[in-house]
């Protein structure tokens, strides 16, 4: 099923491309970079995001084959279109040394097991918890935001060697995390381009 793009979105991407040449990026990286920039109106993401085209290709295939998508908060889930997600934050509880967000990640992993796409756009502690699990993710979109732990948790994600989309700075958030996943959802599969 082809996605119908609203004229405002078309014009927004036209203006983005008029201000920033993204043609040098490989296809999926370009899709992610442009959609993240579009979601935040922040051109700095072009140099702040860290992606790997091979990881994105594997994640794109898994996503379109039905791999589960886990999010850290409902705001990320609300931003992801055309796909149901798993968010266990409502069921989670904080405790000594464990934030509610971290507990939600544990609960989600118990539910979905290995092979999911994880989209973390809010809580650095959720990303930190995911890194302690043997989750074997297809992809981790780790874009939590904040002055405490956000940049550090994203650096730990990159150091982990897991397939990931992250950024170097403290910025991020639910909208940009959802946008990164939507870029993979919206990008056509080989069957759709035939």
Distance CA 93, CA 35 (A): 33
Is 38 marked active-site?
A: yes
Residue from 6, 24, 38, 60 carrying the catalytic annotation: 38
| Three-class SS of 68-114 | CEEECCHHHHHHCCCCCCECCHHHCCCECCECHHHHHHHHHHHHHCC
DSSP structure class, residue 123: -
User: How far is residue 48 CA from its own chain's centroid?
Assistant: 14
Angle 41-63-1 from CA coordinates, rounded to 5°:
80
Q: Which residues are part of the catalytic machinery?
A: 38
């Amino acid at each position: 099923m082809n996605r119908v793009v609203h004229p405002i979105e078309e014009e927004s991407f036209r203006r983005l491309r008029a201000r920033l040449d993204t043609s040098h990026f490989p296809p999926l990286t370009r899709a992610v970079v442009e959609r993240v920039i579009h979601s935040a109106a922040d051109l700095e993401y072009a140099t702040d995001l860290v992606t790997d085209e091979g990881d994105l290709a594997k994640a794109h295939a898994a996503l379109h084959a039905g791999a589960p998508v886990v999010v850290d908060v409902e705001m990320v889930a609300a931003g992801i279109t055309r796909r149901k997600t798993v968010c266990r934050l409502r069921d989670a509880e904080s405790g000594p040394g464990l934030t509610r967000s971290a507990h939600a990640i544990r609960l989600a992993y118990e539910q979905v097991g290995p092979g999911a796409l994880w989209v973390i756009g809010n809580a650095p502690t959720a990303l930190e918890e995911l890194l302690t699990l043997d989750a074997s993710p297809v992809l981790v979109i780790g874009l939590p935001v904040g002055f405490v732990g956000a940049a550090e948790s994203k650096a730990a994600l990159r150091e982990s060697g897991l397939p990931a989309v992250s950024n170097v700075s403290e910025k991020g958030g639910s909208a940009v995390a959802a946008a990164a996943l939507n870029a993979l959802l919206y990008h056509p599969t080989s069957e759709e381009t035939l």
